[in-house]
């Protein structure tokens, strides 16, 4: 045998190189063909088939799907609220053992109007819990305790949100949400803070001139724009807006926001007084009103932080200082909220309290979520093109004559809210002007 192999090897060595290459290639093709035919044969014989198997938890999977749905159930509002309360109690019990899953289920529940979905998610999670005795005891205890308190039908716990003003205002705010978020991004301020200032000012306006705004804000669901003494949807005074602009340019100011913001409110013309007025008294595009608001909040926060007091986590104080102005912003320990007194219904609120109520109410959290940082200090300066895009947000709507408030017959002049639209636009169907995001 060894001799035969030796002879074969000797003959192989005597062959020319091209024959050796041809023999090797031919051999490789033969091996590949054999492998393919072999694999095909195994497939035809069914050797590679996976027939599947019944899941060991199939009964549990079926049970989750068989949980009664509420789509066809005729439940009263009280019964439905009670069902939600019980499901949230069960989620709370799960959170003591598996907080990650409880948090996921709670977040998912906000996107459904069916509490039985929560029950199904909880049942699905229980499949992987080997011993549910401790969880079941806690769940039963929570549900039993909750059943001792009758379900209440009390409406919103915040009194001023139960009137007709808030639904109309909320609708108007949502229509401006893109502009508010853009202003927050540009000014480095959480948009929800800007909305808190807007809510306080618009509620104040509605209740100070109730009959006029009933005709305007309620049916049309747009924000009221002021043009006398205070300007825009947030009621910013001319001297306050001018101070904001100066703070942006002055590195020595206690309100200075940094070089990244210096050109945020640059003017296009030399007539700053008129251009500033036109920016704020623009009832089609409110971006500049929100930009000035964001700058006021950011500059005030920096003033206090430089003095050794951090109020970035005190929205109530920030709203109050926005309302009272730079002149009354004096950094000190233990600041208290307040501001203008505003009557809504049979109660009196302060400006700071109204903004605070909105901020922590959870209202519009899907549009203006709570952010991890309320203030962000940007490092990159705006380019000329970016500044131009901001300036492009001024619309060509017809504005009332500036200085009208100082004329003797100004009381008889119609406000912006009462003036007919010079372009014949029906504000009930108009959409907010599209802003140019960077």
The tens digit of pLDDT for each residue in 89-141 reads 999 999 999 999 999 998 888 887 788 788 888 888 888 888 889 999 999 99
* Residues 222, 86 share a domain: no
Residue 154 included in any domain? no
In terms of residue numbers, what domain contains 355? 163-412
What does each C-alpha distance from 135 to 142, 180, 328 come to in angstroms? 11, 44, 55
* Residue 191 and residue 112 share a domain: no
Query: How far, in Å, CA of 391 to CA of 385, rounded?
Result: 10
Residue 420 domain flag: no
Question: What is d(CA 394, CA 281) in angstroms, rounded to the nearest whole number?
Answer: 10
Decide if 174 is inside a domain. yes
The Cα 431–Cα 418 span in angstroms is 19
DSSP state string for 49-76: -------TTHHHHHHHHTSPPSTT----
> Is 438 a member of any domain?
no
Looking at residue 340, what is its pLDDT?
Answer: 92
Q: Domain tally for the chain?
A: 3
pLDDT at 411: 46
Within a domain: residue 125? yes
| 245 in the same domain as 110 | no
Looking up tokens 């006021």 gives 296
Report the C-alpha gap between 105 and 89 in whole angstroms. Answer: 12
Q: What residues does 189 pair with on adjacent strands?
A: 375
Q: Are residues 254 and 315 in the same domain?
A: yes
Which neighbouring-strand residues pair with 154?
none
Same domain flag for 15 and 103:
no
Strand, helix or coil at 124? helix
| One domain for residues 338 and 293 | yes
Start-to-end Cα distance in the chain: 83
Cα–Cα distance measured from residue 88 to residue 117, given in angstroms and rounded to the nearest whole number: 12
Instruction: Name the residue with tokens 């001018």.
Output: 242
Is residue 52 in a domain? no
DSSP letter, residue 112: -
As a whole number of angstroms, the distance between CA 140 and CA 250 comes to 63
The pLDDT value given to residue 393: 92
Distance of CA 176 to the CA centre of its chain: 13
Do 291 and 345 sit in the same domain of this protein? yes
Cα 143 to Cα 61: distance, rounded to the nearest angstrom: 24
Residues 123 and 224 in one domain: no
CA 182 – CA 176 distance, rounded (Å): 10
- The verdict on residue 432 lying in a domain is no
Per-position DSSP letters for 97-108, written without gaps between them: T-HHHHHHHHHH
Q: Are residues 288 and 391 in the same domain?
A: yes
Rounded Cα–Cα distance for residues 422 and 412 (Å): 19
- Give the pLDDT confidence score for residue 153 in this predicted structure: 72
**Residue 244 and residue 300: Cα distance in Å, rounded?**
10
In terms of Cα–Cα distance, which of 349, 325, 355 is closest to 190? 355
pLDDT in the model for residue 24: 75
Closest to 160 (Cα-Cα) out of 316, 353, 417, 368: 353
Domain finish residue from 147, 177, 203:
147
Q: Which of 122, 147, 172 is the last residue of a domain?
A: 147
Pair (120, 250) in one structural domain: no
Same domain, 120 and 170: no
Question: How many C-beta atoms lie closer than 10 Å to residue 79's C-beta?
Answer: 13
Ranges of residues in the chain whose predicted pLDDT is under 50:
54-55, 58, 70, 72, 410-438
143 and 170 co-located in one domain = no
pLDDT score recorded for residue 273: 93
Amino acid 224: pLDDT = 77
Asked if residue 157 is part of any domain, the answer here is no
Q: What is the pLDDT of residue 435?
A: 39
> Looking at residue 434, what is its pLDDT?
43
Residue with tokens 């251009």: 275
Q: Which residues pair with 344 in a beta bridge?
A: 347
What is the pLDDT, as a whole number, of residue 419? 44
């Amino acid at each position: 045998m060894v001799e035969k192999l030796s002879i074969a090897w000797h003959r192989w060595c005597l062959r020319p190189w091209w024959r050796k290459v041809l023999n090797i290639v031919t051999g490789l093709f033969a091996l590949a063909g054999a492998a393919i035919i072999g694999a095909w044969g195994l497939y035809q014989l069914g050797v590679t088939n996976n027939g599947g198997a019944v899941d060991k938890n199939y009964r549990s999977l079926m049970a989750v799907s068989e949980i009664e749905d509420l789509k066809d159930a005729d439940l009263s509002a009280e019964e439905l609220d009670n069902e939600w309360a019980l499901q949230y109690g069960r989620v709370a019990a799960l959170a003591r053992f598996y907080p990650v899953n409880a948090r996921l289920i709670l977040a998912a529940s906000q996107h459904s109007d069916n509490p039985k979905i929560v029950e199904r998610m909880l049942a699905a999670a229980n499949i992987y819990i080997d011993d549910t005795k401790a969880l079941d005891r806690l769940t039963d205890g929570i549900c039993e305790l909750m059943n001792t308190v009758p379900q209440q039908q009390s409406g919103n716990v915040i009194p001023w949100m139960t009137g007709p003003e808030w639904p109309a205002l909320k609708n108007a705010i949502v229509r401006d949400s893109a502009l508010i978020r853009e202003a927050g991004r540009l000014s480095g301020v959480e948009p929800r803070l800007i909305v808190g200032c807007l809510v306080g000012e618009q509620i104040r306006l509605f209740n100070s001139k109730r009959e006029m705004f009933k005709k305007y804000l309620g049916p049309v669901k747009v924000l009221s724009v002021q043009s006398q003494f205070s300007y825009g949807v947030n009621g910013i005074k001319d001297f306050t807006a001018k101070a904001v602009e100066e703070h942006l340019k002055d590195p020595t100011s206690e309100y200075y926001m940094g070089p990244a913001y210096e050109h945020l409110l640059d003017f296009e013309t030399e007539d700053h007084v008129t251009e500033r007025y036109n920016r704020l008294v623009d009832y089609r595009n409110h971006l500049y009103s929100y930009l000035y608001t964001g700058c006021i909040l950011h500059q005030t926060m920096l003033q206090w932080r430089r003095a050794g007091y951090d109020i970035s986590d005190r929205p109530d104080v920030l709203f109050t200082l926005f309302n009272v102005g730079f002149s009354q912003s004096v950094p000190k320990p233990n600041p208290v909220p307040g501001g203008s007194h505003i009557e809504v219904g049979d109660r009196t609120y302060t400006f700071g309290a109204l903004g605070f109520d909105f901020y922590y109410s959870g209202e519009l959290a899907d549009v203006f979520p709570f952010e991890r940082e309320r203030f962000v200090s940007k490092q990159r300066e705006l380019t000329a093109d970016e500044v131009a895009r901001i300036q492009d947000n001024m619309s060509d709507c017809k504005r009332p004559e500036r200085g009208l408030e100082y004329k003797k017959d100004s009381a008889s002049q119609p406000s912006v809210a009462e003036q007919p639209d010079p372009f014949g636009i029906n504000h009930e169907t108009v959409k907010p002007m599209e802003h140019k995001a960077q």
